Amino acid sequence: MKLLILAQEISIDQPGGSGRVVWEEARALARRGHTVAVGVPRARVELSTEERRDGVTIFRYGDVKRRETMGRSMADLLDTPRFMKQMVAGARWDAVIAHHPHVAYGALRVVNARKIPLVYIFHASAAAEMRYEGLSRERLNRFAAWVLKFFFVRGTFAIERKVLRAARAVGVFSDFSAKLLRELYGRAARNVVTVRLPMGVDTERFDLPASWEAVRNQLGLDREALIFVTVRRLVPRTGVRILLDAFRMVYDRVGDNVQLIVVGEGRERASLEHYATAIGLKRHVRFVGRAGDDDLALWYQAADASVMPTVAYEGFGVSIVESMACGTPVIGTPVGAIPEILLAFDERLLADAPRPVALADRLVWFAEEGINESWMDPCRGFVKRWYSWEKHAEKVEELLEHENHSSQ
């Protein structure tokens, strides 16, 4: 089949969980013999507009400055239709696989594109997350931010509903996401075929460390310290602030030789760094910013445990399986799809609530008892058994073939 994948981002351009799903899906489908192209907004001016990599053709489109000034979602609505007109004029596509609502809706604005079967991959509700988190525009005053948020949330809910109604099928990565679809979108979600897709992980890139001590030396970490790592976008929903409160309790209980590494960027970074200092953790919490896939694997490998402190809307949690592929267990909150993964592996790693005291309880348990257990091989084995991009691609392929037969 000839497949066009549309997405707001891909991981080879910028780090991110959903972007990694897009890229690995494209590569896996290409390995299975399909002709695969990815259309993605151009994230930086130095990126080429067309590139061939790992059997996948990448088309980058749109105005980088508009994306920076107007925001990704608005730019996607303006730039994607023009790109789709070029794509449908120059080639015949068997299906479009769309990963984010605004690019999907931008494609649907083109009449000829609406004739192509659409499969929508639902990572999360952009509208629900925006309703929870608010806007990331720092220059807006409070009233302007409230007004813009109100209209953006309503508009995005409408866009997501229209995409669902246009889709031949919807792929989700967890039971939580399937339930969220039904709760948020009612009839629009009930009338479309919804399929649970396997998540995957690149077990060659995210691998066991050849030398745990060498990795810590490379990253400048104390080989004797107890180290927790969290890989998060630094926004309210991901729960890094409650993790800092929990870590303060861990520090008080465990002692001086414990560290927390925060990997990621976001609008809350400055306030979180200030807060860590204010509660006396400046020497024990390290913010390292974004990390590419290779460096990200090193942070997982160096840690004794990873932490997923999410407080709202976790459609899957790619960093959970990436960390476990590196042999590092994950302690998480009972939010979204996190329990679906951790309860299948070891229920002791799941906190009772997304609150500091409950999370601290699990972190202290790990520091005092869990650290003495052998986690590396069980974590790795769990991932290799259940999470594969080949299985993901096979399920997507079955879905596409079913929809093709149904439409004939």
Chain-centroid distance, C-alpha 90: 32
Tell me the Cα Rg of the chain.
21
Indicate the pairing of strand 50-53 with strand 56-61. Answer: antiparallel
CA atoms within 13 A on the CB side of 31: 13
3-class SS of residue 263: strand
End-to-end CA distance of the chain: 15
The first and second tokens of residue 5, run together, are 């994948």
* HEC sequence for 276-336: HHHCCCCCCEEEEECCCHHHHHHHHHHCCEEEECCCCCCCCCHHHHHHHHCCCCEEECCCC
3-class SS of residue 50: strand
CATH annotation of 2-200+388-407: 3.40.50.2000
Same fold, 2-200+388-407 and 212-386: yes
The first and second tokens of residue 72, run together, are 């990704």
Q: Which pLDDT tens digits describe the chain residue by residue (408 residues)?
A: 999 999 999 999 988 888 999 999 999 999 999 999 999 999 999 999 999 999 999 999 999 988 887 788 889 999 999 999 999 997 899 999 999 999 999 999 999 999 999 999 999 888 888 887 776 555 556 666 666 777 788 889 999 999 999 999 999 999 999 999 999 998 888 888 889 999 999 999 999 999 999 999 999 999 999 999 999 999 999 999 999 999 999 999 998 899 999 999 998 999 999 999 999 999 999 999 998 877 999 999 999 999 999 999 898 989 999 999 999 999 999 999 999 999 999 999 999 999 999 999 999 999 999 999 999 999 999 999 999 999 999 999 888 876 665 555
Domain boundaries, the chain: 2-200+388-407, 212-386
* Cβ proximity of 37 and 25 under 8 Å: no
Chain-centroid distance, C-alpha 330: 16
Distance in angstroms (rounded) separating the CA atoms of residues 234 and 271 = 10
Distance in angstroms (rounded) separating the CA atoms of residues 101 and 76 = 9
CA atoms within 13 A on the CB side of 169: 23
44, 61, 150, 269 from 66: Cα distances, Å: 11, 12, 22, 24
Task: Name the CATH superfamily for 212-386.
Answer: Glycogen Phosphorylase B; (3.40.50.2000)
